[in-house]
Structure 1
């Protein structure tokens, strides 16, 4: 569940939605997912925020609450240019919730669906920014565990990684294995699929798939049923033929089966710099292609329904 939506996705509150959470007056629904629903609100000073309210099934699980508190506390420590800060939270009330800064951007999945694959230069700026976000997240002792195109927002000032760390709270509850799915099968690393320990390298594997998706619109292990894709992730090598030749080495390194063989986020950034014009990453106002930049600007000024 993403704690964001794009302004075009504002939907009016329904009869089952709360109108207020701990003093935050809810303006519109931004989205929903396995762990709960996300709403647009504003701070008393007028700053837009995304308020995530956890589903009652999770709220009733003591182990989930314990984990949620730990993960929210850790997420508050993850401060970086390319992460979205947790601003407020309550893990003890009847319905646990957290508030993050609201980013009026488009998710990478929306962008590729609407505009097609991104140019290689934009992909390098995107991946360099996401890798820098992973550095901030890992430095706070968090592993994202669910890095995917829907959790990468493209904003006017660069990419923003959202939803980091919170999935771990659900990972160990009694609900795991029911209809609540934690993580996204087609973006899981082999060690997630086989049930061994997740490491920072787990996020780097997902970044490799995200990079391929941004550059091609496709998946390096093919499409189809989740169990079939997961089998190929564990057992087969990726097909990188559709990726720009310059990016194949970076993608292949991220997709190494052995977590220890994958590059660190810092090494991913260095690779993106080496592959960029002038061998440096410089994000200017025009880091996005013109039609996409115009749409992001339009979203910036959109208003929720009244």
Structure 2
């Protein structure tokens, strides 16, 4: 890395991720602890819009306190090299773990689903919408998920910089109302949670692969592939896939249902989940 071996008070050790706007480094802080440093790519380091987006990410993630969400530790969005510093989470992205080792089965997938629901509940309780719950944004260590990447997260009630026809997030895991250009809500995060859990349980995106048009068509028509997902988990996922966002239970409700392990007898507002 030459002159780029340090960033602020952090020693950069290795590149562990790269996207269209930022690169993520494994780094070491002044106390010798491993951290993850997300830095804007040089082409965007002076762009006000990119810097504002990074500031929103930092603000949203700073509000969340959860054992199942990567913690924000530090950041300098106005520095020459804008960056944020997060807890380094050991494990493997779910979208790499499942192809390598296969889907989670039995009690493991139930524990995974519950912990991811707890993570989302903590995010929502902090007044934040994640907006991109997907296998690429979940680090898994066995059946222990950690939710990462608040790059497009918003504080609840904040202006959402999207317009009709713009798809923001990972398309195969988006709620139908987002495809139609509606505002993100906690219910749309819940839909994405269910899509991610279905992938973990089957190894397949629940609305298939292929063209964006085809995937979005199946999402809008509610054609979720849950073949191989055992009850009662399958019934809970069907509840989270309801077309009407108002009829989807919240993340905390799903965490409670999974703790009890019986969707057939758990009710919300008089409606059987399964």
TM-score class, shorter-chain normalisation, is 0.7 to 0.9
Selected match of 2:152 from 159, 167, 172: 167
Change (3 A) 1:216 1:157: closer
1:189-234 deviation digits (Å, cap 9, x = unpaired): 1122111100011110011111111111112222211221012111
* Cα distance in structure 2, aligned partners of 1:98 and 1:38: 9
Please tell me whether residue 105 in structure 1 is matched to residue 94 in structure 2: no
* Cα distance in structure 2, aligned partners of 1:37 and 1:264: 33
Selected match of 2:200 from 214, 221, 227: 214
Specify the SS of the correspondent of 2:128.
coil
* Cα distance in structure 1, aligned partners of 2:235 and 2:132: 23
Question: Which residue of 2 is the match for residue 197 of structure 1?
Answer: 183
Question: Which residue of 2 is the match for residue 235 of structure 1?
Answer: 221
* Cα distance in structure 2, aligned partners of 1:86 and 1:18: 22
Selected match of 1:145 from 131, 147, 152: 131
1:146-168 deviation digits (Å, cap 9, x = unpaired): 1111211123683211113x224
Please tell me whether residue 226 in structure 1 is matched to residue 216 in structure 2: no
1:4-153 matches, within 5 Å, as: 13=1, 18-153=4-139
Change (3 A) 1:93 1:130: same
Q: Contact 2:16–2:24 at 8 Å: present in 1 too?
A: yes
* Cα distance in structure 2, aligned partners of 1:115 and 1:21: 35
Question: Which residue of 1 is the match for residue 246 of structure 2?
Answer: 260
Q: Contact 2:9–2:29 at 8 Å: present in 1 too?
A: no
Selected match of 1:248 from 224, 228, 234: 234
Specify the SS of the correspondent of 1:39.
strand
Structure 1: any 5+ residue segments left out of the alignment? 1-12, 277-306
TM-score by length of 1: 0.77
Give the structure with the higher percent strand: 2
TM-score by length of 2: 0.85
Change (3 A) 1:121 1:24: same
Deviation (angstroms), 1:57: 4.5
Measured on the aligned residues, the alpha-carbon RMSD in Å equals 2.5
Q: Contact 1:19–1:25 at 8 Å: present in 2 too?
A: yes
* Cα distance in structure 2, aligned partners of 1:232 and 1:257: 12
1:281-301 deviation digits (Å, cap 9, x = unpaired): xxxxxxxxxxxxxxxxxxxxx
* Cα distance in structure 2, aligned partners of 1:173 and 1:188: 14
Q: Contact 1:215–1:244 at 8 Å: present in 2 too?
A: no
